Structure 1
Amino acid sequence: MNKGKQREEMKNTLAGLSKEQYDEKSRQIHQALFSSAEWERARIVGVTVSRMPEVDTIPIIEQAWLEQKLVAVPKCYPRDKSMKFFLLRGFDELETVYFGLKEPDPTRTKPCEKSAIDLILVPGLVFDKRGYRIGFGGGYYDRFLTDYTGKTVSLAFKEQVKDELEHESYDIPVSTIMTDESTYDCIAGE
């Protein structure tokens, strides 16, 4: 099955979650993240501002601030499919861009070097237990992660994790996937 079809299939599956299921599953994933060594060690956390059907990241950003962690949020540049992270101190520093996405306003935030980010929460729609993922189709994270040396974690509902996905040579697996039921230490033995 091609990536486009898998994306659509997963969007339909996630659309079937009730608001109560979505909230409860997100809470369980937050608890798993907040009790993890990756979270504990991270001083700067890279995270997108989620929107349905992704795991809710607003409470993650708020918890990071509460724990005096720095929050770096990505801004995508469609022209060259690149991405840069900016330090976010408040939700009022966000702007709404294409497709209703919330990204940092670069005129109100400071850039954050890739090497300074300890933990990046990598979004996606479909994942496999080896850490490979099907994202939303832009390829931004695969490009960004090519020379990233920090920890990568994806947060997903259990429905989003499959045994194995086909992947391309340029696909970068994440090191850990945390769901509402399990945590997978991913070793993409390739």
Structure 2
Amino acid sequence: MTKAEIRKKAVVQRRGLSEEEIAVYSQRLLSHFTSFNLTGVHTIHVFLPIAEQKEPDTFLFIDWLARLHPEIRIIVPKADFETALMHNYVYTGREGLLKNIYKILEPAGGELHTGAVDMVLVPMLAFDLRGYRAGYGKGFYDRFLQGLDTRKIGLSFFGPVEEIDDINVHDVALDCCITPEKVYYF
């Protein structure tokens, strides 16, 4: 299947989820994440959930990290739609976030992070058995991850498709993907 076909199918799957299912699945994703070894991790990039798209509740991850690993710096993205690039800002709390015109929560301002990133939680609509993902099609995360030496961890409410047919040289494979049922390693 192509990314476009996969996107259509994944959007329908997500729309069928209830708020209760999203909460339960998000908690299961976090449960798997809590078993990861975070030794040597100093900075984690966490995408902020788009509630209207029924994305995983990554605030659960942020809150857990802040409680149990306060030494880890949490950074969150802000998209520049003119350049199609993302910039990372140090997360300071929900009160410092605003929705942009695409209903994506972003930091209103704050400290720009330009240093190393040890781990990235990556959003997606779907992924395949090789670790490639289908996102919303703008390429923000592929550009961000290109050449970045970091652990790339996807979060998905659903298991993998067998193969995404139209992978290109700009697509960056994940190291693993967490689903409510299990963690897939690539």
Same-fold call, TM cutoff 0.5: yes
Tell me the TM-score normalized by structure 2. 0.91
Query: SS state of the match for residue 102, structure 2?
Result: helix
Name the one with the larger helix percent.
1
Q: In structure 1, the residue corresponding to 2:86 is in which secondary structure?
A: strand
Establish whether residue 102 from structure 1 lines up as the match of residue 105 from structure 2.
yes
Q: Which amino acid is the alignment partner of residue 102 of structure 1?
A: L
Percentage identity across paired residues of the two chains:
27
- Please give the root-mean-square deviation of Cα atoms over the aligned residues, in Å: 1.4
TM-score (norm 1): 0.89
Residues 30-49 of structure 1 mapped to structure 2, 5 A cutoff? 30-37=30-37, 39-49=38-48
SS in 2 for 1:99: coil
SS for the counterpart of 2:77 is strand
Q: Distance in 2 between matches of 1:129 and 1:178?
A: 12
Measured in 2, the distance between the counterparts of 1:4 and 1:126 equals 11
Question: What letter corresponds to residue 43 of structure 1 in structure 2?
Answer: H
Aligned to 1:181: 181
Tell me which residue corresponds to 2:86. 83
Distance 2:135 2:121 in 1: 13
Structure 2 regions of 5+ residues with no counterpart? none
- Pick the aligned partner of 2:76 from 46, 59, 73: 73
48-57 or 78-87: bigger deviation = 48-57
Residue in structure 1 matched with residue 145 of structure 2 by the alignment:
145
Unaligned runs of 5+ in 1: none
- CA deviation string 1:94-129 (max 9, x = no partner): 1210211101123xx11112x521110011101012
> Cα deviations across residues 64-103 of structure 1 (Å, max 9, x unaligned)?
2112021100111111111111101111111210211101
